[in-house]
């Protein structure tokens, strides 16, 4: 099952079924009457919101799922600088202009690679990136969940 990214930035991720306790005396194929149908009632997906545990990792997995043959991500200095600029532009835009901010990039591929590199590092990497953005562009650092959501929106726009 694939990860689905919704327009609001939430991710629908598959849930791996947990292991059920069994009686040592149980015969394979026999089900305990109190647990009958329990496995069928468990959800097979979960919705993750930006800032929620596992969201950054799921977003990185979603991005890789978009192009599984992509080479390992490499962040360049110019790509990272443009990535910081685009995240700042989207964060401070009155109308949250993702498409316009992406269109203004000189090297969209390098910016995308830099953003993917940030995601691969997880929450500490996103927090560090948000601090770098604030230092380079001014203002307060974005909370990690907001920065992650914007990164996801920019990557989705770049993949269009």
**pLDDT tens digits for range 94-144:** 888 899 999 999 999 999 999 998 988 888 899 999 999 999 998 899 999
Residue 91's nearest CA partner among 59, 63, 121, 129 is 129
Q: What is the mean pLDDT of residues 30-46?
A: 60
What's the CA gap between 129 and 131, in Å, rounded? 5
Predicted confidence at residue 55, as pLDDT, reads 84
Q: Write phi, then psi, for 32 (nearest 5 degrees).
A: -65, 130
The structure tokens listed for 5 are 């990214």
Q: What is the bridge-based pairing of β-strands 45-48 and 4-5? A: unpaired
Q: Are 149 and 142 in contact (CB under 8 A)?
A: no
Residue spans of the domains in the chain: they are: 4-49, 55-59+67-158
Segment of 10-19, 115-124, 143-152 carrying the highest mean pLDDT: 143-152
Q: What is the mean pLDDT of residues 38-45?
A: 66
pTM to 2 decimal places:
0.66
Q: How far is CA 10 from CA 5, 32, 49, 50, 125, in A?
A: 6, 37, 5, 7, 20
What's the CA gap between 110 and 113, in Å, rounded? 5
Q: pLDDT digit string (tens) for 43-58?
A: 688 998 887 888 888 8
Per residue in 124-155, is it b (16+ CB within 10 Å) or e — as a string?
ebbbebbebbbeeeeeebbebbbbbbbbbbbb
């Amino acid at each position: 099952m694939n990860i689905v990214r919704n327009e609001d930035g939430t991710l629908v991720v598959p849930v791996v079924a947990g292991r059920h306790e069994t009686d040592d005396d149980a015969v394979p194929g026999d089900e305990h009457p109190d647990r009958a149908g329990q496995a069928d009632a468990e959800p097979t997906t979960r919705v993750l919101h930006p800032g929620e545990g596992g969201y950054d990792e799921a977003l990185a997995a979603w991005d890789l799922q978009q192009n599984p043959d992509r080479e390992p991500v490499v962040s360049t200095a110019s790509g990272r600088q443009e990535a910081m600029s685009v995240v700042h532009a989207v964060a401070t835009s009155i109308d949250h202009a993702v498409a316009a901010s992406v269109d203004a990039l000189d090297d969209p591929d390098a910016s995308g690679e830099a953003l993917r590199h940030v995601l691969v590092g997880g929450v500490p990497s996103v927090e560090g990136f948000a601090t770098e953005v604030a230092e380079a562009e001014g203002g307060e650092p974005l909370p990690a969940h907001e920065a992650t959501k914007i990164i996801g929106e920019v990557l989705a726009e770049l993949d269009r």
